[in-house]
């Protein structure tokens, strides 16, 4: 899904895993793609319907976006190669 606000298109990406309804949002700017995500790093709980298999697929989907900036709701802002390293680090941590 995409929503246009002013001159920006906000793209909503379904990223189940942390919860079944988790989403991330990205925008494309003249400087690159900016990704907004929260709870990319977890935590996970059966009581929320967390699913690590779905989460892994969601993280791979986010890596394919090749974002230049990641604004992670609880962990701060990452730029450049640190974006991929951040996501890949959590993928390694939660590999079965």
How many Cα neighbours within 13 Å face the side chain of 47?
A: 1
The residue with greater pLDDT, 69 or 96, is 69
CA distance 28 to 35: 9
Q: How many separate domains does the chain show?
A: 1
Q: Is the dihedral of CA 87, 92, 94, 96 positive or negative?
A: positive
CATH code of the domain covering residue 83: 3.60.15.10
Q: What is the DSSP letter of 20?
A: T
Q: What is the pTM of this model?
A: 0.91
- Full residue range of the structural domain in which residue 21 is found: 2-93
Partners of 46 in the beta sheet? none
- Contact between 50 and 44 under an 8 Å Cβ cutoff? The reply is yes
- Tell which phi-psi region holds residue 80, choosing left (phi > 0), alpha (psi between -120 and 50) or beta: left
Residues 6-47: pLDDT tens digits?
A: 999 999 999 999 999 999 999 999 999 999 998 888 899 999
Residues 36-84: pLDDT tens digits?
A: 998 888 899 999 999 999 999 999 999 999 999 999 988 899 999 999 9
**Whether the bond into 8 is cis, omega within 30 of 0:** no
């Amino acid at each position: 899904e995409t929503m246009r606000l002013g001159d920006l298109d906000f793209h909503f990406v379904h990223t189940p895993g942390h919860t079944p309804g988790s989403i991330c949002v990205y925008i494309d700017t003249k400087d690159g793609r900016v990704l907004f995500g929260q709870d990319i790093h977890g935590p996970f709980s059966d009581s929320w319907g967390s699913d690590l298999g779905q989460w892994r697929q969601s993280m791979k989907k986010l890596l394919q976006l090749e974002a230049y900036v990641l604004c992670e709701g609880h962990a701060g802002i990452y730029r450049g190669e640190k974006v991929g390293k951040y996501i890949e680090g959590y993928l390694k941590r939660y590999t079965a």
